Amino acid sequence: MRSLTLAEARERSSLLTVTSYAVDLDLDQGAEVFGSRTSVRFTCAQPGADSWVDLKARSVETISLNGRSLDPADVVDGRLPLRDLAADNELVVAATMAYSHDGQGLHRATDPADDRDYVYGHLFLDAAPSVYACFDQPDLKAPYDVTVRAPLDWIVLGNGAATQSGAGTWHLETTKPLATYFMTVCAGPYVSVRDEHDGIPLGVHARASLREPLERHAAELFDVTKRSFDYFHGLFGIRYPFGEYHQVFVPEFNAGAMENPGCVTFRDQYLYRGAATRDELLTRANTVSHEMSHMWFGDIVTMKWWDDLWLNESFAEYMSHRCLVDATEFTDAWVDSSIVRKVWGYGAERSPSTHPVAGVEALDAQSALQNFDGISYAKGAATLRQLIAYVGDDQFIAGVRAYLTDKSYGNGTLADFLAAIETASGKDLTSWSRAWLLTADRDTLSVEVQEQGGVVGSAVVHRESPADRPADRPHAFDVAGWTDGREVARVRTTVSADETVLAELEGGPVPALLLPNASDLTWARVRLDDATVAGLREQLAQVPDEQARAVVWSALVDGVHGATVDPRDFLDVFDAAWPLETNSSILTRVASYAEHRVVPFFVPRAEQADALARLNRAGTALLERATPGTTESLAAARLVAGTSDDEALLQSWADGQGLPAGLEDDGDFRWIVVRNLASRGLVDAGDIDAFRAKDDTLQGGLNALMCRASLPDPEAKAWAWQQLTGQEGRSNYEMVHLARGFWAAPDDALVADYVSRYFTDVPAMSGWVGEDALSRVVLVAYPRVFTDETARLSAETIARDDLTPAVHRSLVDADAELREALASRAAFGAAV
């Protein structure tokens, strides 16, 4: 299918104004297809001109434009030409559409727990025409009237309040003007919990088999929802305008959530079936608040074109963390950002695919998707924090209010947003935006101290800008130091030159641990001095500032990836500091990085068993002394379950015997154990099927696929590869879980033949897998055989000119991680 270009979008929006959509969906036609009838009214600024409407149908039954019939055969490559338009037009299209199984369009999934089907719409970027005929670009917004026919035992939810007018027939209240990609319908035998706040009807919904976790978590979900509403109403000065507010937890969702006005969709893994750590609850709360902030920034005001996607995501990323800190119990949300979101963003910044936060002109819709990453989210949010430091918080909020008011129900651009901030603050943002928004990459911050008898003689902050992407970024941040747990220095500074003297540190004691950007206020590579790195084993656990500890761990992760920190040093610090960690985000995320990234990527294969044993010992030690049922206990148990080689322990836990307190009926925890057993060849496919029988759910089926793919024998690998890359009808989630297990192997020989096959078989999947889903499969399925031959094949594939944009971008990012691993092993392999 052709991807809409920026030039085409500008031409069409200059010609057409869409006034309304009436969409009639018939979801009662079986499991494969649904009926779609669209009536769209629009005006044409130049009567007699030609245009087109977007339509990706299984078949088209009838088309009429202003009462005259059009030939369905005219639909070519997803477009229906519209010729000789009148000043006022009505287009009516009746078509049959196909349900998707890759998380895009109208996705239909069967829950094996009860064999009931669920449908949800995810129309992001360019999937709307697979549901209804539309002018699919973000600046042609219009109100919607939607009618849905569904099986009698289904309920229907959507952007407008749903009312049932007859058996199986539902009408959704007319919406405010929406961009095409925000229209959604969720339908199925969903179960619901409802509430109300400040005159806004609220609902949370999930599959029937998730009734228990939905009801168990509903109170907390509503609490975060209500607090976020109150906070954003006060901050923006504009009331939520989209009527009811539903949050639907849907199966097989590609992202974390989607901000459809009035009907937000979430991945249903957020309804934790078993035990959840505090940081998992924080992540969910952040997602709830993030999507709500989009109701203003994204939904009320939508970007004009996809190259301003950052206006949506950076703003929501910043506002959700701000809201959690100011209005909820999750006051450590910025700590979580440091060790989760910014680590993700720094990874995107290290890749050759790095790009500026804004100003990258997306020449077509699909290329815009390639900039939908940790830079758009985490770097953009950090950039907004620097903007606030530059202009002042009151001035920033005043500018945001003016922008939202002026552009309500319309579209905005980077220029519009900056103009509003400039007017409110009285500051020219030209040079600031050039440095922070329009230039890729990041600076490196370090502090050089000259010591005189244990006293700081001089202290200088060094700001190094990348030579190939020079920028003059001002950084507002702090430098702090600790010795044996006591804070001995803290200086706030604004750095606007390559060297800045910190006179406030002079004459004070030299800290054992000296940390630039200690409060993580800016976006930069933090370079720790040699004395600090050497002292981390003894000093880090004593630092009482959890935000600073997160910055240290982030710097260590960044250094391992950049081949400036020996993975051995990382593991030494892990041994010493991780078991004493008290912040849940640091505790769980650092353990995950150590187990799933540092050891398998950066430690040579011959040393990995010993490295995993170190992690297991740390987990066991924490598990033995942690209070049962706490985050510490759960994090430790998960680490032990994933790293232990104690067959007796693993078998007993898999059988439900001797489990840590709180995990007795936790099916998700059992699957961690089973995957460990499977990867070691200590269970077979029949055993996995038996465990699946105990957890006959959608998630249980996915975990079983991952475990089968992990089995260390040729037959299992051949089966998994066919299920992954053959046209076997696997869903987006099934493909990702197969890929997650596939490269688990006791040695490279077992999977070596699949390295070359990956570079032919996986890109070819673009013929039947949507770009959004395939981009994830490409990353997860990338070979975990870290050799020069893999790098050679990877480079050859990236150079091909027949790759889709999503496949190419994911290959570039995966290739960058491979080369990081090779560089680290070359630098430190012998030492490890």
Residue count of the chain: 832
Residue 758 and residue 797 in contact, taking contact as beta carbons nearer than 8 Å: no
Q: What percent of the chain has pLDDT over 70?
A: 100
Order of strands across the sheet that contains 475-483? 486-495, 475-483, 513-516
Q: Which of 280, 276, 230 is nearest to 256 (CA)?
A: 280
Residue 608 bridge partners (DSSP): none
Q: Assign 368 a pLDDT band (cuts: 50, 70, 90).
A: confident
Residue 103 and residue 252 in contact, taking contact as beta carbons nearer than 8 Å: yes
Catalytic residue among 291, 546, 581, 595: 291
Quick one: pLDDT at residue 737? 98
467 Cβ contact partners less than 8 Å away, ≥ 6 residues apart: none
pLDDT at 49 over 50: yes
The SS3 assignment for 399 reads helix
SS3 percent helix, strand, coil of the chain, rounded to 5, is 45, 20, 30
Query: Hey, what are 77's tokens?
Result: 């490559």
Catalytic site residue 291? yes
CA distance 702 to 700: 5
Residue 225 and residue 288 in contact, taking contact as beta carbons nearer than 8 Å: yes
Mean pLDDT (the chain) is 96
CA distance 707 to 757: 21
Mean pLDDT over 705-719 rounds to: 98
Q: Could you read off the pLDDT of 424-466 as tens digits, one per residue?
A: 999 999 999 999 999 999 999 999 999 999 999 999 999 999 9
**Enclosing H/E stretch for 170:** strand 169-172
Residue 53 bridge partners (DSSP): 80
430 Cβ contact partners less than 8 Å away, ≥ 6 residues apart: none
pLDDT at 627 over 90: yes
pTM of the model: 0.97
Q: Could you read off the pLDDT of 785-820 as tens digits, one per residue?
A: 999 999 999 999 999 999 998 899 999 999 999 999
Mean pLDDT over 483-501 rounds to: 97
CA distance 287 to 302: 19
CA distance 432 to 391: 11
Quick one: pLDDT at residue 312? 92
Residue 830 bridge partners (DSSP): none
pLDDT at 153 over 60: yes
Residue 783 and residue 753 in contact, taking contact as beta carbons nearer than 8 Å: no
DSSP assignment of 327-375:
HSS-TTHHHHIIIIIHHHHHHHHHSTT---SS----SBHHHHHTT-SHI
Quick one: pLDDT at residue 831? 46
Q: What percent of the chain has pLDDT over 90?
A: 96
DSSP assignment of 400-444:
HHHHHHHTTTSEE-HHHHHHHHHHHH----HHHHHHHTSS-S-EE
Residue 59 bridge partners (DSSP): 96
What letter does residue 530 receive in the DSSP assignment? H
pLDDT at 830 over 70: no
pLDDT at 214 over 50: yes
Burial class, 277, CB count within 10 angstroms (exposed 0-12 / middle 13-18 / buried 19+): buried
Quick one: pLDDT at residue 1? 64
pLDDT at 131 over 60: yes
DSSP assignment of 38-94:
EEEEEEESSTT--EEEE---SEEEEEEETTEEE-GGG-BTTEEEE-S--SEEEEEEE
787 Cβ contact partners less than 8 Å away, ≥ 6 residues apart: 748
Quick one: pLDDT at residue 310? 87
Residue for token digits 């109150």? 230
Q: Could you read off the pLDDT of 248-281 as tens digits, one per residue?
A: 999 999 999 999 999 999 999 999 999 999 999 9
What letter does residue 607 receive in the DSSP assignment? H
CA distance 297 to 380: 14
Q: At what angle do helices 647-654 and 667-679 cross, to 10 degrees?
A: 140
